[in-house]
């Protein structure tokens, strides 16, 4: 599975840590930046990863900023994106199972590194349940078209 990652400076260290974790698990990771701790604007990176998902270059995205909030809001502005910001495993699992989130967002200043690994595992190992959840997602996606 090809996973795209992106962050601002507030999520940079967590991005690097999770990138290494995913690579060690044989996932192919495309890093859309940022590439240092220098201050940058999170919308730029949320948008890059979101475009990677909708273009099909990557299957899912994992994004971070200080809280995960700003970068997820930015990513969700791109048509077709369902970015979920989570800080514990249950929501990470539900984000896939019920919401079929195609981007997972976390806060580099919110979650610790080991928790972030568990969150990523919970999200990646979950399966979308479809059925009534698909109907609800269709309604969400219809909002974009109106
Ligand atoms: C940057 O200082 C910070 O505002 C950003 O990383 C993020 O937390 C925004 O939502």
pLDDT digits (tens, 9 = 90+) for 8-42: 999 999 999 999 999 999 999 999 999 999 999 99
Tell me the CATH class for 2-145.
Answer: alpha beta
The radius of gyration of the chain's CA atoms, rounded to the nearest angstrom, is: 14
Q: Is 133 a catalytic residue?
A: no
Establish whether residue 45 lines the binding site of ligand 1, counting it when its CB lies within 6 angstroms of any ligand atom: no
Establish whether residue 66 lines the binding site of ligand 1, counting it when its CB lies within 6 angstroms of any ligand atom: yes
Establish whether residue 46 lines the binding site of ligand 1, counting it when its CB lies within 6 angstroms of any ligand atom: no
**Alpha carbons 43 and 46: distance in angstroms, whole number:** 5
Q: Is 98 a catalytic residue?
A: yes
**Extents of the domains making up the chain:** 2-145
64 Cα to the center of ligand 1, angstroms: 9
Beta bridge partners of 61: 4, 103
Burial of 62 (0-12, 13-18, 19+ CB in 10 A): buried
* Residue 104 dihedral angles phi and psi, to the nearest 5°: -105, 130
What pLDDT, on the 0 to 100 scale, is given for residue 146?
86
The catalytically annotated residue of 9, 51, 98, 133 is: 98
Residues 6+ apart with CB under 8 A from 26: none
- Helices 42-55 and 69-76, interaxial angle, to 10°? 40
> Stretch 66-72: mean pLDDT, rounded?
98
What pLDDT, on the 0 to 100 scale, is given for residue 9?
98
Q: Give the tokens for residue 64.
A: 């971070």
Ramachandran assignment for 74, one of left (phi > 0), alpha (psi -120 to 50 degrees), beta (any other)? alpha
Atom of ligand 1 nearest to the CA of 67: 8
Q: Are 74 and 43 in contact (CB under 8 A)?
A: yes
Establish whether residue 15 lines the binding site of ligand 1, counting it when its CB lies within 6 angstroms of any ligand atom: no
Residue appearing with tokens 């290494």: 20
pLDDT digits (tens, 9 = 90+) for 81-128: 999 999 999 999 999 999 999 999 999 999 999 999 999 999 999 999
């Amino acid at each position: 599975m090809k996973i795209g990652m992106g962050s601002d400076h507030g999520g940079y260290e967590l991005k690097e840590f999770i990138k290494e974790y995913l690579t060690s698990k044989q996932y192919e990771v495309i890093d859309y930046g940022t590439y240092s701790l220098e201050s940058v604007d999170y919308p730029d990176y949320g948008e890059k990863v979101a475009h990677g998902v909708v273009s099909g270059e990557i299957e899912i995205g994992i994004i971070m900023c200080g809280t995960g909030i700003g970068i997820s809001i930015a990513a969700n502005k791109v048509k077709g994106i369902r970015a979920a910001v989570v800080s514990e495993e249950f929501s990470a699992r539900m984000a896939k199972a019920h919401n079929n989130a195609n981007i997972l967002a976390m806060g580099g200043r919110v979650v610790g590194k080991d928790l972030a690994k568990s969150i990523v595992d919970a999200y990646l190992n979950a399966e979308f349940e479809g059925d009534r959840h698909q109907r609800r997602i269709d309604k969400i996606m219809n909002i974009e078209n109106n």
